[in-house]
């Protein structure tokens, strides 16, 4: 039996309406994210980018301090915290109405970002596997939780990933974790199939082609394919030149049921949402 998706999520007292697909802007406070155009280091750069994203129509700002590109090196909790918490504090102070997502798999950083610095939701690329305390923190804080599928870690995820049936395998993986989260009282869960995280290019295109199958979970679906290698390797270009391909695949994702697009280029994504919404 198909479950109807929740059409609203509670982001710190604000209900975010998902009857219209939403756009999440990426703010990477890192020196080595795969797309150099998304790296922001100084307060001026961070605030300028956040302000521009909101002006361009971003509904959520996703702020992270840990690079998850394939082969990325691990960094300490302190280094990640120093990067991301400072940025969240800066954005919250200057843009008080922004909905902020903290992009981290570490429970302590997620907790501090929410309680001390005013973030509204958690985006966990490890789906709870990176920190055994994450689910209890999400339950305690009662905030929206984006659970992403990743096979392995950023350092190992592209070492010959394989699946029996990629969609069925990922849905099973989600099902086990969704059960734990709901049993702990977590109300707002968003699933992210994890394009590029432990998947080959062919896996990624199969996920996109079968994205509608994830509706069986009865939860909102986030898609993050912005400027990823499935685009630029297929087209034999660079990530810098992958905006057009990103827009094309974002449109396909929306037609297949995506509720949130996580993107580097907010204005173009917002325009895509408006056009697809008109088509619907």
List, by residue number, the catalytic residues.
228, 262
CA distances from residue 115 to 84, 85, 108, 184 in whole angstroms, order as listed: 14, 11, 11, 19
Give Rg (Cα) of the chain: 17
DSSP string, 34-101: SSGGGB--SHHHHHHHHHHHHHTT-SEEEEE-S--STTPPP--HHHHHHHHHHHHHHHHHH-TT--EE
d(C-alpha 133, C-alpha 205), whole Å: 33
Which residues, other chains included, contact 210 with Cβ-Cβ below 8 Å and sequence gap of 6+? 167
User: Which DSSP letter does residue 241 get?
Assistant: G
User: Per DSSP, which regions of the chain are E strands?
Assistant: 8-11, 14-17, 22-28, 60-64, 100-103, 121-124, 145-148, 189-192, 222-223, 260-263
State the helix-helix crossing angle for 201-209 and 166-183, rounded to 10 degrees.
Answer: 70
Q: In the beta sheet, which residues pair with residue 222?
A: 260
**Where do we find the tokens 């909102």?**
220
Write down the residue that tokens 């396909």 correspond to.
Answer: 252
Q: Taking phi first (over 0 means left), then psi (-120 to 50 degrees means alpha), and beta for anything else, what does residue 152 get?
A: left
């Amino acid at each position: 039996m198909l479950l109807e998706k929740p059409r609203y999520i509670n982001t710190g007292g604000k209900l975010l309406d998902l009857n219209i697909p939403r756009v999440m802007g990426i703010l990477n406070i890192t020196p080595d994210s795969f797309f150099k155009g998304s790296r922001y280091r100084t307060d001026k750069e961070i605030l300028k980018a956040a302000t521009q994203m909101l002006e361009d129509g971003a509904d959520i700002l996703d702020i992270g301090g840990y690079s998850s590109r394939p082969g990325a090196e691990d960094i300490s909790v302190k280094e990640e915290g120093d990067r991301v918490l400072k940025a969240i504090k800066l954005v919250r102070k200057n843009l008080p109405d922004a909905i902020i997502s903290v992009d981290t798999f570490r429970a302590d950083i997620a907790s501090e970002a929410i309680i001390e610095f005013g973030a509204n939701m958690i985006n966990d690329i490890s789906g709870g596997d990176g920190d055994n305390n994450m689910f209890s923190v999400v339950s305690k804080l009662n905030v929206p939780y984006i659970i992403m599928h990743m096979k392995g870690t950023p350092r190992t995820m592209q070492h010959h990933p394989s699946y029996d049936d990629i969609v069925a395998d990922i849905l099973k993986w989600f099902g086990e974790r969704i059960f734990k989260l709901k049993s702990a009282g977590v109300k707002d869960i968003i699933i992210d199939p994890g394009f590029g995280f432990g998947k080959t290019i062919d896996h990624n295109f199969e996920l996109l082609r079968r994205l509608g199958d994830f509706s069986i979970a009865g939860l909102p679906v986030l898609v993050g394919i912005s400027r990823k290698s499935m685009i630029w390797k297929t087209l034999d270009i660079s990530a810098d030149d992958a905006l057009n391909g990103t827009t094309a695949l974002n449109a396909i994702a929306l037609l297949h049921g995506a509720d949130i697009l996580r993107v580097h280029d907010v204005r173009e994504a917002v325009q895509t949402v408006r056009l697809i919404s008109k088509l619907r």
